[in-house]
């Protein structure tokens, strides 16, 4: 949606920037992705349109803000994934909720699998990038928001231990920045899960140095004030890289491959077929709700 709220006259340089932003956003929207401002910024940097500097990030943000208010950019293409309205669902009648239940009915497709996969990502702002692939594969996911809190890690360990007691191998797939703390977070998750009694395997699939070398994301200086900087610099040098800089489509494909590598496809297809059969029954009930309603009313009398 392009809705002009405040008129604005743009310089030719800013108009070029806005057109480029629009092209990038449309490109990703066609693939089913929206972008945060940070992700859009990294697309500009990776394509050589602007320098990788904080001043350029702020300038881009200012121009994008003005362009949206002036109706030059689509409001739906750039999102804030860290602030959302929460509340209860509401329905106008029972028939409506039955139709919704039929559409959303799902059984736990990993319940009979030999492994149980979860996806953990460092940043709240990138949850939207992994939502599609995780939901397609019925995998639970959450944002660690940096170093995961003690409470959440203890709860996770209890949950993962329950999977183990049911004969499943729990796998935590972790994605984070390649910087002193981002790299250490994977180690921290593994150590604290073990401390709390879980033998879950933590697999860091991004961001890793082979990916940095392959995709060449824009570097940032390693934070020298980070207590882990000395060890990081001795291994990787003085540059660091943000997960946000990787293409959403690349992360989607990377996760798809990793998740499927832990899945028994034959069992998956059997459980999927059973779920679809039960969903068809619910759909039939919603389609014949007036008859069901009369039947229940007759029984009640």
Let me know if residue 7 belongs to a domain. Answer: no
Q: Is 176 helix (H, G, I), strand (E, B) or coil?
A: coil
Let me know if residue 223 belongs to a domain. Answer: yes
pLDDT, tens digit, 9 for 90 and up, residues 172-231: 999 999 999 999 999 999 999 999 999 999 999 999 999 999 999 999 988 888 999 999
Amino acid 102: pLDDT: 86
Let me know if residue 124 belongs to a domain. Answer: yes
Which whole number is the average pLDDT over 80-97? 82
Let me know if residue 276 belongs to a domain. Answer: yes
One domain, residues 118 and 258: yes
The number of folded domains in the chain is 3
- Which pTM does this prediction carry? 0.81
pLDDT, tens digit, 9 for 90 and up, residues 120-155: 999 988 998 999 999 999 999 999 999 999 999 999
One domain, residues 233 and 151: yes
Q: Please say whether the dihedral angle defined by the alpha carbons of residues 252, 256, 257 and 258, taken in this order, is positive or negative.
A: positive
On the question of pLDDT at 85 being above 80, the answer is: no
187: domain CATH number?
3.40.1360.10
Which whole number is the average pLDDT over 49-58? 94
One domain, residues 120 and 258: yes
pLDDT band at 86 (very low <50, low <70, confident <90, very high): confident
One domain, residues 240 and 280: no
On the question of pLDDT at 30 being above 90, the answer is: yes
pLDDT, tens digit, 9 for 90 and up, residues 271-281: 999 999 999 99
8 Å CB contact between 177 and 206: no
Let me know if residue 285 belongs to a domain. Answer: yes
On the question of pLDDT at 95 being above 90, the answer is: no
pLDDT, tens digit, 9 for 90 and up, residues 218-268: 999 888 889 999 999 999 999 999 999 999 999 999 999 999 999 999 999
On the question of pLDDT at 301 being above 70, the answer is: no
Rounded Cα gap, residues 198 and 88, in angstroms: 34
Peptide bond into 207 cis (omega under 30): yes
* Range of the structural domain that residue 54 is part of: 12-77
Let me know if residue 84 belongs to a domain. Answer: no
Neighbours of 65 (CB within 10 A): 13
One domain, residues 210 and 125: yes
Question: In 3D, which of 35, 98, 29 has the Cα closest to residue 246?
Answer: 35
One domain, residues 21 and 137: no
């Amino acid at each position: 949606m392009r809705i002009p709220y405040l008129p604005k006259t743009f310089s030719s340089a800013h108009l070029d920037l806005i057109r480029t932003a629009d092209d990038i956003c449309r490109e990703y929207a066609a693939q089913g992705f929206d972008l945060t401002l940070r992700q859009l910024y990294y697309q500009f940097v990776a394509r050589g349109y602007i320098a990788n500097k904080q001043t350029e990030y702020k300038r881009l943000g200012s121009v994008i803000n003005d362009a949206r208010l002036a109706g030059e950019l689509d409001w739906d293409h750039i999102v804030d994934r860290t602030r959302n309205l929460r509340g209860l669902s509401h329905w106008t009648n029972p028939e409506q909720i039955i139709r919704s239940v039929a559409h959303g009915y799902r059984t736990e497709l990993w319940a009979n699998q030999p492994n149980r996969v979860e996806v953990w990502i460092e940043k709240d702002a990138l949850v939207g990038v992994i939502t599609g692939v995780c939901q397609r594969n019925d995998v639970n996911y959450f944002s660690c928001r940096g170093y995961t809190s003690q409470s959440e890690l203890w709860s996770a360990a209890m949950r993962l231990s329950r999977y183990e007691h049911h004969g499943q191998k729990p796998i935590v797939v972790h994605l984070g920045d390649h910087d002193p703390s981002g790299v250490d977070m994977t180690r921290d998750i593994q150590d604290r899960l073990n401390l709390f009694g879980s033998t879950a395997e933590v697999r860091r699939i991004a961001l890793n140095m082979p990916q940095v070398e392959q995709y060449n994301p824009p570097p940032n200086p390693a934070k020298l004030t980070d207590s882990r900087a000395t060890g990081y610099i001795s291994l990787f040098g003085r540059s660091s890289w943000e997960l946000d800089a990787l293409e959403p489509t690349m992360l989607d494909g990377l996760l798809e491959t990793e998740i499927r590598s832990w899945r028994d496809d034959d069992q998956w297809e059997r459980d999927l077929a059973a779920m679809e059969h039960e969903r068809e029954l619910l759909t039939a009930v919603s389609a014949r709700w007036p008859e069901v309603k009369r039947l229940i009313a007759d029984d009640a009398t």
